Amino acid sequence: MKIAVIGATGLMGNRISRVLEGHGVDVVRASTSNGVDAYTGQGLEEAIAGADVLIDVTNSGPFGEGDALDFFRKAGANMLAAARASGVSHYVSLSVVGTERLVENDYFRAKLVQENLVRASGLPFTIVRSAQFFEFFDGIINASAADGALRLASILLQPIAADEAATAIASLATGEPANAVVEVAGPERLRLLEMARELVTATDDPRPVELDHQGRYFGVSVPEDGLLPAVGGATGGLTFHDWLSRSMVSQDYA
């Protein structure tokens, strides 16, 4: 089996590629660093040629920066056209749990457009909506900073370690297309507030962590359970506490 990973140098692309290669899969690691640009289409057909599966883990840049809608529309159209031309039999696209409930935010609205392009493409597909990665929680929590404190909404999450999400995505990519959304999440439901308290304690962050009853998640007001997985799917086994403990030992937060 030959799999083209588009966006292979990113957090997930690199991990997914390593998992697939570890299982003997012929992986084409495609990214702008080696001349493959999903947004312009440069190098796409050459990278995808002969591939059985395309995994799209491209991103528009740092969260909240740039025109995400323009990026996902153009990059998505280019990758889908190249996949059709190359005879790809399984198109896998990475998205986010709760995307359809976060459309007030420009980035998540763009992700939903990306999903809809895949659904309408006529290609066999799997849309993988992953819960938030543990590795992103420093940024998620800091987005709520105000007046020297971390003011967080009352929200439940079911986050997952990026390595476990990558393993799940690799497994889905080598299986039959679901032609549907499949969700990937961690083993436990956690309150964002409690995760923030554990993180600031572990990192000696002096800022107080406070509950904000009017708080929003990246500018969007969501119900307490609005970011939990809605459909069955793969579940990781590593808890946030254990992941954070390992990260501190490995100096990830030093």
* pLDDT at 253 > cutoff 60: no
Q: How much is the pLDDT for 120?
A: 97
The whole model's pTM is what?
Answer: 0.92
Rg (alpha carbons) of the chain, rounded to whole number = 18
Higher pLDDT, 249 or 12: 12
* pLDDT at 185 > cutoff 50: yes
- Torsion angles phi and psi, residue 91, rounded to 5: -110, 120
Q: What is the mean pLDDT of residues 49-68?
A: 84
* pLDDT at 251 > cutoff 60: no
At 20, is the pLDDT very low, low, confident or very high (cuts 50, 70, 90)?
very high
- Quick: pLDDT tens for 219-246: 899 889 999 998 666 688 999 999 999 9
How long is the chain?
A: 254
Q: Report yes or no: 135 and 162 within 8 Å, Cβ to Cβ.
A: yes
Rounded CA gap, 107 and 85, in Å?
29
Above pLDDT 90, what percent of the chain? 81
Q: Report yes or no: 237 and 134 within 8 Å, Cβ to Cβ.
A: no
* pLDDT at 62 > cutoff 70: no
Q: How much is the pLDDT for 247?
A: 86
The residues spanned by each domain of the chain are 2-249
Q: What is the mean pLDDT of residues 26-46?
A: 96
Q: Report yes or no: 124 and 83 within 8 Å, Cβ to Cβ.
A: no
- Quick: pLDDT tens for 122-139: 999 999 999 999 999 999
* pLDDT at 254 > cutoff 70: no
- Residue 122 CA, distance from chain mean position: 23
Of 61-65, 94-98, 194-198, 200-204, the range with the lowest mean pLDDT is: 61-65
At 199, is the pLDDT very low, low, confident or very high (cuts 50, 70, 90)?
very high
2-249 has which fold?
Rossmann fold (3.40.50)
